[in-house]
Amino acid sequence: MSQIADLKGYVSYALDCTRFRMVRDEADVENEELVFAPEMAHQIFGESESIFGYRDLKIEIMASAGPLDLYFDISYTKKVEELQTEGLKADDVEKSLAEMVENGSYYTNLDEFKRIHASKTAEFRPQGTKVDEFTYPLNGQGTGTRTFEVYVASAENAEYMKFHTRLEMFSFWYIDGFSRVEIDPLWLFFTVYERYEADNNNESASNDSANVRYATVGYVSVYQYYSYPKNVRPRVSQILILPPFQKLGIATRLIKHTTYEYFRKMENVTDITYEEPIEAIQHIRSVIDAKRCKELSAFAPDKLLAGFSKDMLHQARETYLINPKQCRVVYEILRLGVTDTDNVEQYRAYRIEVKKRLNMNYSRHRRDLARAKKRGMDVTVAMCGLPNVSERIESLNAEYKEVENIYGQVLQKLLAEG
């Protein structure tokens, strides 16, 4: 028992012992103010996000801000192999980190990393075609600005894809369920960079190209699915904004303007869809789409109260490339905004409308099972797995309350933005 108790001191929680740093100049290697933490580690170290075999484990991951050359430093005070244990080996931390990086392109010698950083940073330039540029006021004071540029590149761009594999390393730590994209010409990547001057990282770059530097901010990946008969339906797959650049409105800009304007100009785009967006991205998307649709005639208050219509679907898609599923969400948000919740009948009608949509999959599943039973199939086990009527009503009420709360947050944001 005492030996087992001793081994507990050799278990580290990956999120506590891992630190990141983006390096613009050599002094940043020692700058503690630049350190940021990962959000998840289960895709690297397993569901428990724990690492066995080390006491006082520290994992330092540095990346040159522009080209993202990587440096891994793994340190500890004692390793489990140093004890006389039978069959117990420490987890191979470097191997786990290396599996995230294509072709083993990382450094473990700090001096070598500094040399590579110094030789590449000044010459690094974004790959692809520039499609957007915007600024952000520093500290809301308006006395200085940070300048950001967005470039689009396809998976056919070999030079970009070499860079992208390094950028994807961060996705394992910040995008749940992440997997690398396959090389396919239908993939597009909208990558954001901050443009700055070498002498002052906080000021936008001047026209002196010798002093211009770029720091990588994040990316949006989009797959262009086929849409009958000869169109495409872009699907936003992943959105990653690195922590040092979060809360600057960059994700909102990419959704509201960059990707939308890029595809709006194409004549063969049916609509834009999203691949299971996380809650934060869906919230941004809903605010943007609701604000746009609020001005369309099909979404006038009297028409909202009359119910969901084909005119809403048509105008949302034709004007703003909003797909049917998102259009329905926008309708429910805007209808809540014009519903008098103190009017018993009006509020009840709204709740029924939303609950019908929430219950759609459940109802369809029951119908499918009923049809299968009529055809002579044994569906006993499947039917037993379904909740009874009272359980389903309770679950549906809880789902509805959650949806209304989310919709209320969107409406508050719309009100605040005017």
Query: pLDDT, tens digit, for every residue of 78-100?
Result: 988 765 566 778 999 999 999 99
Residues classed as catalytic:
275
pLDDT number for residue 365 = 56
The residue behind tokens 């699907």 is 235
* The pair of three-digit structure tokens given for residue 199, joined into one six-digit string: 């002498």
| Closest-CA residue to 183 (of 162, 204, 210) | 162
Helices (H) and strands (E) in the chain, counts: 16, 14
pLDDT digits (tens, 9 = 90+) for 25-73: 999 999 999 999 999 999 999 999 999 999 999 999 999 999 999 999 9
Same domain? For 366 and 409 the reply is: yes
Q: Residue 143: inside a domain, yes or no?
A: yes
Same domain? For 130 and 117 the reply is: no
Same domain? For 94 and 155 the reply is: no
CA 239 to chain centre: 4
Mean model confidence pLDDT for the chain: 90
pLDDT number for residue 145 = 87
Q: Residue 270: inside a domain, yes or no?
A: yes
Same domain? For 117 and 131 the reply is: no
- Among residues 104, 121, 138, the one where a domain terminates is 121
Q: What is the largest CA-CA distance in the chain?
A: 78
pLDDT number for residue 331 = 98
392: exposed, middle or buried (Cβ count in 10 Å: 0-12, 13-18, 19+): middle
pLDDT number for residue 277 = 83
Q: Residue 8: inside a domain, yes or no?
A: yes
Give yes or no for residue 389 having a pLDDT over 90: no
Same domain? For 319 and 269 the reply is: no
Structural domain boundaries, residue 359: 288-417
Same domain? For 143 and 93 the reply is: no
What total number of domains does the chain contain? 3
- Among residues 219, 249, 276, the one where a domain terminates is 276
pLDDT digits (tens, 9 = 90+) for 253-283: 999 999 999 999 999 999 999 998 888 999 9
| CB count in 10 Å sphere of residue 104 | 7
- Among residues 220, 250, 276, the one where a domain terminates is 276
DSSP state letter for 138:
G
Domain at 179, CATH number: 3.40.630.30
Same domain? For 28 and 100 the reply is: yes
Q: Residue 132: inside a domain, yes or no?
A: yes
Q: Residue 282: inside a domain, yes or no?
A: no
3 state SS of 322: strand
pTM value is 0.87
